[in-house]
Amino acid sequence: MKRWAIWASACFYGLFMQAPAQAQRPAAPRDLPTAAAGPALGDPMPERALAFPGGITGLADIIFSTVNGYRPLRLDLYHKPGAGRRPLVIYVHGGGWVGGHTRQAGAISDFPAALARLAAEGFVVASLEYRLAGEAPHPAQLQDVRAAIRFLKANAGRYGIDSKRIGIWGGSAGGHLAALAATSCGDATLDPPARPGQPAPPAGDTCVQAAAIWYGVFDFKPLLARQAQPGAPAAENQLLRCTPASCDPARVANASPAHYFSRQSPPFLLIHGINDRTVPVDQSRLAEAGLQANGVPVKAIYIPGVDHSFISADAATTHAATMQAVNATFDFFHTSLGDRK
């Protein structure tokens, strides 16, 4: 009986435990397609498309910029195929210029769904990467935002974008970059310089028609000054590659959106938590005053009882503040860029 049991067990494993498959050498020589001239560049993998409510398609990880010596930069795009030309909203993520992600924003648990919701209201929406401060100092991050704007304008027909109606939105470090892109678009000195043997500097207008900034940085001078206080954040040191004692005032101004305020600046929406301990609310207050002094339409919302990222000690207050900001931002883009569903 025991020998029968062993035999039966061996038969069972023979049926269900097949031998590993062997590699098969083809009979004919292999033949693969090659480029007509020079190396084959680009990414031949198909775009990863995701379906969202409202007929929205999300296209993940579209490469929009390749700078020699750095990783390719990618963006996610949300649109409704076949819906005609729609206004574009570009989101720039936060993270202290040293972290963050295109699919994260404050306390919103599913940010891609939030961006798809905005797209369903009649927009094309893009969320982009940029080189972090550990990879390159200012103005590399701004150059990457500008590269995304140029890429999306160049591909407006492909993605259904109305290139004359573009808004930009960002939070924290992303708010700084969004504001800098919105206010400095006519300053070519912030683009990469021409170098022998390198591709020509990028060309094309990068101006936008609206900017929504959540708890953003507008002037680095007071941020650098506060570093005399123990425990003050110092992420700006890595971005600017200097310390408060060594920062050239011209470099500080060059990186500050407030330096570029003018009558040509687009309409702004500013939203900031009054209790913000990371980016003081005074940053938005000085931006509000500076934009008003230049005759720029600006609306400011200061939310009591919340810290950076609209975070509060209790979940209900965090949710209420976040939804107040989301609704005000979506409504602002409808008003500034025009409704088209």
Q: What is the DSSP letter of 118?
A: H
205 is catalytic: no
336 is catalytic: no
How many Å apart are CA 237 and CA 246, to the nearest integer? 10
Residues in the chain: 341
CB–CB of 241/164 below 8 Å? no
**Which residues neighbour 290 within 8 Å (Cβ) at sequence distance 6 or greater?**
218, 258, 261
Strand runs labelled E in the chain = 48-52, 56-65, 73-79, 86-92, 124-128, 161-171, 210-214, 268-273, 298-303
Residue among 79, 93, 176, 308 flagged as catalytic: 308
Encoded amino acid at 106, one letter: G
308 is catalytic: yes
Residue among 76, 144, 219, 276 flagged as catalytic: 276
Residue among 65, 127, 172, 309 flagged as catalytic: 172
How many Å apart are CA 150 and CA 154, to the nearest integer? 6
DSSP secondary structure of 170-191: EETHHHHHHHHHHH-TT-GGGS
Catalytic residue numbers read 172, 276, 308
